[in-house]
Structures are given as structure tokens and as C-alpha cells.
Structure 1
Amino acid sequence: MSLIEPERLQIVAEEKSSELSSDSPSKNKKQYAPMLFTPYEIDSKPDAKVFRLMPLAVLIIVAIIGIGGIVLWVDSKNPHKNAKTKINNNLDATTVGTVIKNSIGMELMYIPPGDFIMGSGEDEIKKALIEVNKYQNDAERNRFANETPLRKISIKDGFWMGKYEVTQAQWQALMGDNPSNFKDCGANCPVEQVSWDKAQVFVEKLNAEDDGLEYRLPTEAEWEYAARAGTTTAFSFSDTLNSSQANFDGNYPYDSTKGKYIARTVVVGSYQPNAFGLYDMHGNAWEWCQDVYNPTYQNLPTDGSANLSVGELNLHVLRGGSWYNSGFYCRSAYRFKLTPASRSNNISLRIAARAK
């Protein structure tokens, strides 16, 4: 078995769903009632009948306010109390580095419009072949055709993209379960064991929050544009990769020295972000794209939209590499594909969105 083949993906049994437990009210919650009125003398001899009715009126007012307080308290314990609340701040942003947060705590970065060259050129292919030959991986020598031909992509409108891969906590909050194999990694580790089909369900539930954004998986072109962040190198920071820069199999770096192999996911944001402020675009977990897979870029859209009709319609694209793969698979241009029902402990997702 080759040590760097993507077929090393480990498909494991689906975990049982677990219900999201609700918070219990605090026993020490401070209770108070607002002042109902400021008493003052309006008549030196007030009407006796009116005076007798005042306690009853006060009791009624207190009861109404008390009921309202209970309703507000119950609502405050709802994990989605902010659902249906519009994200009003920064949705019209035009500046790189602008960040917004939605109702489940997901942070999204603004990605500006622009042009870029998608795919691998001759120089990168030659260098990548050298890296492949180090490990005598015959299966990979012919894979570069799917990274060609080079083509100019024009993304005319800015969009939002997840600052991090979707975390286990965010998935749990929305879906009510956690399918991840590495649960002990923690709530802020990427959710994994996610199929393309399940990713679509997650997107549907996000859109049901109706917060002013239209959510989806990123298109393949958007993903590479966001990963490159203005660069033309193999990775967003350079033409080399070692285990101090991303979570992958450090035994197989890319034109660099060998390093640590953690052999699992890590907390999102554990490494430096790219120029767009996105973390873990290289390694940690593969990320689904919206597109169906075509083994070449010929006849595909050049406006950044998803390819939904050309190629192998039973396969969808994944990008970014993972903790399980060599540095070769973590390149900005590398493309992988699986069926929409495929799951693995190194497959996650990242969300894209546009303002409605």
C-alpha cells in the first residue's frame, strides 16, 4: 500500500446520533422586578374607591410583567434564540479581513472579487513529479491532467467563506448529533465523517436560520481562489510544506524536512492563516466542494460558478488534503473526488455564503 495515496482514506461505521442536551437554569439567577410607578401626592383627599382598587391593579400589572419575564427567561435558554435574527453588520463589506459571526458562532471572512489562474503550470508539475518520485508512487504520476489546462477565472462578486472548517460544536448545535471519529479531540476540532449528502443537509438547516446570508458549499474555483489568496505558489505561503505549517503526514513533506505526524485532526486554527484570514486550507481535513468532478478543466465555467453537469456526475470534488496525507495532496491545485455518500475520519467541510 502506498503511503501517500488518497485511497488510504479510512471509511468507518456511522456513529449513532446523540441529542443535544439543553442548559439547566441557574439556581443563582438574580430575580428582580422593575419599579412600576413613582408614588406622588395628587390629592390631599384621594377617592376612597380608587384607593381600594389600586392594590388589585398593582397585582395585575405585576402578574403581567412576571409572565413576560418567564417567557423571556425560557427564550434565553433556547440554543437558537438568535435564529431568524439578521446579520446586519458588515454584510456589505468590501475589505479583506472583515469577519462576521452567525447564530451558531460560525465566523466567516469576506473574500473579495478578483481574477486568478486556476490549476498547475509546467513548473509546478515538474516539481510535483520530483516529490512523487521520491516515494515511487506510480498511481500519482498520471494525475496531473486533472489540474490542467491552466485557465483564468474571473470572480466578479465578493463572497463569504468559513474562517475555519465547520467544528464539532457547530455541527452538533445545528444537526443535533456529532458523527466525528475524533470526538476526544474536542468541540473546536473539525467535524468529520461527513458525506457530501450530509453537508447539503447542514447547508439547508443553516439557510433555515434566515439570517441574511445564503449558505452553500464553496465552488471548486472559489475554494482554490480562497486558498491561494493571491499567490501562485504550490501553497498559500510558499512552494514548500512541512509539519510546522499544516497538519498532514510530516513523514512526507513537500520539498522540505521531515517532521511530526500527529495522525489525527487538531483544533481548527492551530496554524497560521493565509492572506485572506482563512485557516487550515492545507491539511487537517479534506473539504467538500459543490462541483461534480471532471477529469480536466476543459469546457468548465470560468466565472467561478460550480460545475454541475460536465464530467463524472456520480463524484464530487474535495480539496485541501488532510492529516492522513502527504504534503503533495495539500497543494492549492490538488483535486480529489469521491461519491456523495462517502464518509471518512479525514473529511470535513467549510461553508461559503453570499448576502441575500
Structure 2
Amino acid sequence: MFREVPGGAFRMGLSDEELDALRAIDEAEASDESLEHFLAAAGLMRPVREVRVEPFLLARHPLTVAQTRHWLPDYEDDFAESGDTVARVTDDHLNAVLAALPFRLPSEAEWEYAARAGTTTLTFRGNEIPDEDEILLAFADEKRVAASENAFGLSAMGCANEMCADVWTPNFEDAPSDAGPRTGDGPRAVRGGGGDLSAWQGCDEWLLMLSAFRAEYDMFTAIRPAAPLPVTGDS
């Protein structure tokens, strides 16, 4: 199921205000955990720049195993417990899945814009550490899916490690002036991943849910398809 993401302008990247919010959390949690390592890598999410995004369609949640098998019947997922589990696509299947889908990947700018859904805080819920239940990724429970929706009707943004269309580069180097993806050779950029780790084991996995969090594709990824708005008159 796709949601229509309205167009608009936003400030992309980890802002000074968000850094201050992270430092405040770090001070409050210093006795147990430290965000020092994350803060040291915050430059990968900066500088902040204004980007205008045109309206587009984005899947309500990442593809499940069952949805992936609709397009690629032979797909197997070693991470899956059931067909309702988010598909974590590895190198062995990635190219085949992307080739089989009649959709495209969102650009990093589109993904972050959609994740923020008009907010300017660490996550769309605010500057607090997300509740543990927010990173669960089983979509069989419709109530859980609905409860994790943001203002654009998108569920679980930041929970899964989601691939974007952009080639990875630190600091948004050579980023286009619009919301289009960076092209070229190399691994793709990914967003999110809070639910890909064992919850609340002291490794600050909630940081991967930040709207501005970004990383280089490594081992596996979820896929949240994007598509253009239908042309007036199309079925």
C-alpha cells in the first residue's frame, strides 16, 4: 500500500538543535551509556541544507517477505520468521529483487523528508528516546502498524535499514540541488536500522531511528518502494 507524500521544502541533515538534543540525552544517560561515538560521526549527516521535494508515492512500510515473493517467487530470507516479517535482503538477492520490482528506490532526500513528515526533531515523535515497542517490525498486527505511522501515514520509518537510490558519500558531497539521488559507482546509502538489532542491549540502537541518520550499505537491507504520482487520467 502506497501513501502520497506531499511536496515541500525542508532542512535536510542533522541540525544544531538536534545535536543539542542529543547532547542533553548524553548528559542524562552518561552513567549507563554514552553517545560519544555517535556524536563523533555526526559530520556524516551534515551540513544541513534546504531541499525541495516534489510529491511522490512511498510504500506504507518496507516490503515483507510475502510481498517480495510476489515479485520474486524464489526469494528466500534467512532472517525471516514468517511472510509478514520485513524482508532483509542480502547481497545474494539484492540485484534480483531490485530488478524484479516495478518501482524505484526513494532518494535520501525523499526518505528523510518522508521520515520527518513536517517535524524538525530527532524523530517524528520528538527529541526523546523512542519506546522499545516502536522498533518492532512484525506487520501482521495492524494495530502496531497504525500506531507507528507518522503524519504522512508512513509506518516504522527508521526501524529497518532501508536502501536509498543514492550512491553513498559522506557529508552529502556532490549532492544534487534538488531531491534527486546521487549517481555513480559504489555502495548505496541506507537509512534507519533501529529494529535490526536486539532491542535495548546498551548499544544505543535507537540512534539508528533518527530522521537524519545515514550509513553506507553493508550486509542486508530492507526495501521501501517509491513511485511517481500517477498522471491525471491514468488508472
Per the TM superposition, whether the score is higher than 0.5 is: yes
Instruction: Report the counterpart of residue 202 of structure 1 in structure 2.
Output: 97
Instruction: Report the counterpart of residue 112 of structure 1 in structure 2.
Output: 6
Contact map agreement 1:286 1:320 (CA 8 A) in 2? yes
Contact map agreement 1:286 1:321 (CA 8 A) in 2? yes
Contact map agreement 1:247 1:322 (CA 8 A) in 2? yes
Contact map agreement 1:246 1:282 (CA 8 A) in 2? no
Instruction: Report the counterpart of residue 294 of structure 1 in structure 2.
Output: 169
Count of residues in Structure 1 that have an aligned counterpart in Structure 2: 215
Q: Which runs of 5+ in 1 are unaligned?
A: 1-106, 208-214, 249-264
Q: Summarize the alignment of residues 221-260 of structure 1 with structure 2, pairs less than 5 Å apart.
A: 221-243=109-131, 246-247=134-135
Structure with the bigger percentage of helix: 2
Task: Please tell me whether residue 180 in structure 1 is matched to residue 77 in structure 2.
Answer: yes
Instruction: Report the counterpart of residue 282 of structure 1 in structure 2.
Output: 158
Instruction: Report the counterpart of residue 136 of structure 1 in structure 2.
Output: 34
Q: Could you list the per-position Cα deviations for residues 234-257 of structure 1 after superposition, in whole angstroms to 9, with x for gaps in the alignment?
A: 111211133255116xxxxxxxxx
Partner SS state of residue 51, structure 2: strand
Q: Summarize the alignment of residues 1-356 of structure 1 with structure 2, pairs less than 5 Å apart.
A: 107-131=1-25, 134=30, 135-136=33-34, 138-155=36-53, 157-184=54-81, 186-195=82-91, 198-207=93-102, 215-243=103-131, 246-247=134-135, 265-267=137-139, 270=144, 271-283=147-159, 285-309=160-184, 313-323=185-195, 324=197, 326-339=205-218, 342-343=219-220, 347-354=221-228, 355=230
* Distance (whole Å) between structure 2 residues aligned to residue 146 and residue 132 of structure 1: 19
Alpha-carbon distance, 1:137 to partner = 5.3
- Residue 286 of structure 1 aligns with an amino acid whose one-letter code is N
* Distance (whole Å) between structure 2 residues aligned to residue 178 and residue 322 of structure 1: 24
* Distance (whole Å) between structure 2 residues aligned to residue 173 and residue 291 of structure 1: 25
How high is the TM-score relative to the length of structure 2? 0.81
Percent identical residues: 26
Alpha-carbon distance, 1:316 to partner = 1.5
Partner SS state of residue 152, structure 1: strand
CA RMSD, Structure 1 to Structure 2 (Å): 2.3
Q: Larger relative contact order (C-alpha < 8 A, sep ≥ 6)?
A: 2
Contact map agreement 2:45 2:212 (CA 8 A) in 1? yes
- Residue 352 of structure 1 aligns with an amino acid whose one-letter code is A
Partner SS state of residue 161, structure 1: strand
Q: Which runs of 5+ in 2 are unaligned?
A: 198-203
Larger C-alpha radius of gyration, 1 or 2?
1
